Structures are given as structure tokens and as C-alpha cells.
């Protein structure tokens, strides 16, 4: 539900701190506040905030701190803020870098709120929400061809450390700003301070920042912050959709750290762990976040979520819990990255629910299936080529391998957001050109062109210029 323009109710004393266990604070209360209520106390003239997570008995609650616990002590008075955690929303939030409370981290002036919005808002009703609205073109060849984005849908970028998830996320944000003139909300969940600082400056250099709001819950902060910063960011995305009537790209990097924070909190509250040590409420917590990523007639929210895959194991329970909610699954492969294929998208394992003739049309569907078939055959033959050499293959298989290798290199692309480091200007390729080029590769129109001419290009129209 949307809160009115009034601020939370008047602050009232509620009780005192009786125990502090790391980020968990036990409070002896005169009356029990509701679960998820925001409580406050004052330390050295600073307001510290807690969120109620557990009712222990008739007079005791357990809350998770949203600040450091240094300075807290037994007997400290605790106050009821009168509402769950709320963030200040205003159109002036674009271009800013803030924390979970909407407080500036970029050295700028505080946000002058039009009103405050509850981070635990309910999703729109089924009658008000819209389904996915076709393909959202990104200008990235391999994605538009083989695993297209669903406008108003959810996309997951799966990969281990160092395969390019964050760079790909930044390129999506550039595409939304440059191609679709939309806005982006970036939630940095458990980001390292160095990563956050670099990302902020890179976004400014790429010219994306004026249409972007960035929220960070850093790795050195309480698990309560890392657990709730995604909801704070989603609250801003909902505000831009409902009030500003914008098409919003909502980005989370990394949603796996949201799951980890929930696991920490669950253990601190004494709950029995479930499969592989994850919290028993894993699926509920993931669904609570995912079910709010919806589009309405006023605007759309399209989500891109980077997902760290522990030990590159796609059967991990956290990865499976996230997978169930996604429309498009983009799997980044360490093998692709080791070959110098960037973006390192695995063309055979990445999928989209839009991959059918009815949605894509006959031409797109047929060409994408032809490309997959060619690359699958090449993957089958790789072991034979390694052991015996390509000369041992039949003429037909040699031709298939040659075309597949050229397609593999064609689907690489220089990015706008990395131009300052690579020295290559970014390329945006429209889907119609990608389809024509891939059709040409499959038909043999480019058999005379060397492989290196296909590598890190835009459209094949550039070849020979």
C-alpha cells in the first residue's frame, strides 16, 4: 500500500534494551510492536534504527539493527517510530547515490521528500498488473538473438566470480537510457566499498547516471541492511512506475547476497537451518521480493538480477529459488570468457520464455534455432578436433565448424561502458541487422571472410569499410 504524504506517527517510548548479540537486539517492551515495525534509539546524537523480526514472549522482542551496534548498552531506551521503515521519494532522486534510508552517500544535499513510502508495500492487485509486453531490445547481439529480454519481465544473469556480470548489467542500464529513454534503479546488495566507488564513477563516465538512482547496502554493514536494501530500491522503482509513470529498469547486484543476509538473520534469530544450511524461509523471502516486480498501465518495471552461482553449481537451493521467478535466464560461462568471447554468454544453456514462434515470429525463431543447432554441433565435435584435428572431419562437418566459429566471434561485441578501458567504441546493433547477419552466416554468405574479421564487430555491414 502507498503511504500518504504525512510522515510516520509521533514517536513513543516502548521499552529498553535487555541484550545485544551482534546485530540482534532484544528489547524489554511495555507493549509489543508489530513485526517489521521500525524502532529507534539515540547514540551520540545519532538516530539508530532497528526492525522487529521476532516476538519472544509477551514482553520481549528481537530486532535486527540497521546500523552498527557500537555504543548500544543494556537499559538503553527504545522508541517506536510508528511505522515500518520508510524512504523519502521525490523526482529529484534521479542521479543520486543513497543508502537504505534514502540518505545521500554522494556528498550531495539530502533528498527533499514529496512524501514517504513504506518499503514493505503490497504489490499491485492482479486486476491492475500487466504481463510481459514482448521483447525489450538491448542492442546486445547474443541476448536479443538467443535469450531476449521480456519487457516488464525478470531476467537473471548467472555466473561465478569474474565472468562479467556487473559489466553486462551496466551495459543494460546504458541501453535503457540511450535506446528506450527510461530510468534505472540500481540496488548494490553487499557491494564491496571499492566496487561501489568504481561503479559509481564508471556510471558517470558512461553518461548513464542522470537517469539512474543507486542504492548501496555495503558488505561491511549489518545483515539487516543487506536484507532490506533491495526492498528500499524496489520501493523507489515502484514510485517511478506509479507516480512518475516511467518505464523502469530495476537492477540488483547481487541477489545472492540478499539470500545470504537472510540466512545470517535466520541463524541469529535461532531458526533451524534447512537444505545446505539455508534459511527455512528461503522461498518465501525470494518470492516476497520478486512478486513486487510488476508492470501496470501507468508504467513498467523490467528487472535484471545478477546471481552469483556458488562453485558454479546451478543446482544450489538459492539459485533454484531465484530461477523459478525468471522469464529469461542468461548463463555466463567461464569457458567462454577463457576463449576471449565477451559477453561470455553460454548460447546453449541461456534461455527465455519468449523463445517461441508466436512471440518472436517465424524468421527470428528459425534463425535463433539454426544458430543454436550450429553451435551445438560444434560443441559435439570439439573433442574430436582436439584429439585428431579438423582434417579428420567430413566436409559437411568442417563447414559447420567454420560457420559456428564465425558465429561465435560475431556474437562478441564492444560495450559502451568499457570503451574507456578497451579503446574500442561501443556498438549497438538493432535486431533486424543481427537476424540478417546470422542468416548470412548460416547460408554461407560470409564463408570467404576470415574469423578475425567477425570478432568484436557491430553489424557485418561494417566489414570491408
Residues designated as active site = 165, 191-192
CA torsion angle for 451, 453, 454, 459 (degrees, to 10)? Answer: -160
391's CB contacts (< 8 A; 6+ apart) are: none
Alpha helices in 136-191 (DSSP H): 141-146, 165-178
If residue 441 lies in a helix (H) or strand (E), which one and from where to where?
Answer: helix 431-443
| Three-state secondary-structure class, residue 304 | strand
Q: From its phi and psi, is residue 137 left (phi > 0), alpha (psi between -120 and 50) or beta?
A: beta
Distance between CA atoms of residues 256 and 312, nearest Å: 13
Contact in structure between 308 and 195 (CB atoms under 8 Å): no
Contact in structure between 19 and 134 (CB atoms under 8 Å): no
CA torsion angle for 46, 66, 216, 34 (degrees, to 10)? Answer: -120
Q: Give how far the C-alpha of residue 421 lies from the chain's centroid of Cα atoms, to the nearest Å.
A: 24
Within a 13 Å sphere around the CA of 247, how many CA atoms are in the beta-carbon half? Answer: 16
Contact in structure between 460 and 429 (CB atoms under 8 Å): no
CA torsion angle for 271, 31, 228, 274 (degrees, to 10)? Answer: 10
Amino acid at each position: 500500500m502507498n503511504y500518504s504524504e504525512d510522515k510516520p506517527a509521533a514517536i513513543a517510548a516502548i521499552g529498553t534494551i535487555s541484550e545485544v548479540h551482534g546485530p540482534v537486539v532484544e528489547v524489554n517492551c511495555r507493549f509489543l510492536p508489530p513485526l517489521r515495525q521500525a524502532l529507534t534509539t539515540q547514540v551520540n546524537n545519532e538516530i539508530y534504527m532497528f526492525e522487529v523480526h521476532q516476538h519472544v514472549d509477551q514482553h520481549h522482542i528481537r530486532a535486527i539493527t540497521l546500523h552498527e551496534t557500537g555504543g548500544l548498552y543494556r537499559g538503553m531506551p527504545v522508541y517506536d517510530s510508528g511505522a515500518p521503515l520508510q524512504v523519502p521519494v521525490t523526482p529529484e532522486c534521479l542521479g543520486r547515490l543513497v543508502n537504505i534510508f534514502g540518505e545521500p552517500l554522494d556528498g550531495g544535499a539530502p533528498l527533499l521528500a514529496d512524501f514517504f513510502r513504506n518499503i514493505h508495500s503490497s504489490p499491485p492487485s492482479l486486476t491492475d498488473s500487466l504481463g510481459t509486453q514482448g521483447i525489450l531490445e538491448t542492442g546486445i547481439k547474443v541476448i536479443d538473438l538467443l535469450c531476449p529480454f521480456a519487457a516488464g519481465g525478470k531476467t537473471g544473469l548467472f555466473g561465478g566470480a569474474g565472468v562479467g556480470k556487473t559489466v553486462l548489467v551496466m551495459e543494460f542500464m546504458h541501453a535503457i537510457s540511450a535506446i528506450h529513454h527510461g530510468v534505472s534503479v540500481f540496488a548494490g546488495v553487499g557491494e564491496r566499498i571499492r566496487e561501489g566507488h568504481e561503479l559509481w564513477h564508471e556510471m558517470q563516465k558512461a553518461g548513464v547516471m542522470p537517469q539512474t538512482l543507486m542504492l548501496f547496502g555495503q558488505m561491511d554493514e549489518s545483515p539487516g541492511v543487506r536484507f532490506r536494501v533491495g526492498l528500499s530500491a524496489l520501493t523507489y522503482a515502484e514510485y517511478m512506475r506509479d507516480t512518475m509513470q516511467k518505464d523502469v529498469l530495476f537492477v540488483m547486484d547481487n541477489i545472492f547476497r540478499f539470500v545470504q543476509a537472510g540466512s545470517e538473520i535466520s541463524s541469529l534469530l535461532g531458526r533451524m537451518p534447512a537444505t545446505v544450511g539455508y534459511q527455512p524461509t528461503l522461498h518465501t523471502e525470494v518470492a516476497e521480493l520478486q512478486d513486487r516486480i510488476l508492470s501496470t498501465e501507468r508504467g513498467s518495471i523490467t528487472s535484471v538480477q545478477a546471481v552469483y552461482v556458488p562453485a558454479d553449481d546451478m543446482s544450489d537451493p538459492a539459485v533454484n529459488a531465484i530461477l523459478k521467478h525468471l522469464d529469461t535466464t542468461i548463463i555466463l560461462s567461464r569457458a567462454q570468457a577463457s576463449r576471449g568471447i565477451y559477453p561470455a554468454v553460454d548460447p546453449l544453456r541461456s534461455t527465455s520464455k519468449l523463445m517461441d514462434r508466436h512471440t518472436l515470429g517465424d524468421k527470428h525463431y528459425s534463425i535463433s534455432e539454426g544458430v543454436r543447432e550450429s553451435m551445438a554441433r560444434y560443441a559435439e565435435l570439439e573433442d574430436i578436433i582436439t584429439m585428431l584435428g579438423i582434417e579428420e572431419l567430413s566436409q559437411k562437418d568442417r563447414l559447420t565448424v567454420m560457420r559456428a566459429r564465425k558465429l561465435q566471434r560475431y556474437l562478441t561485441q564492444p560495450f559502451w561502458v568499457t570503451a574507456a578501458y578497451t579503446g574500442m567504441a561501443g556498438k549497438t546493433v538493432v535486431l533486424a541487422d543481427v537476424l540478417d547477419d546470422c542468416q548470412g552466416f548460416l547460408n554461407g554468405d560470409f564463408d570467404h571472410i576470415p574469423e578475425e574479421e567477425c570478432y568484436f564487430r557491430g553489424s557485418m555491414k561494417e566489414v570491408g569499410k
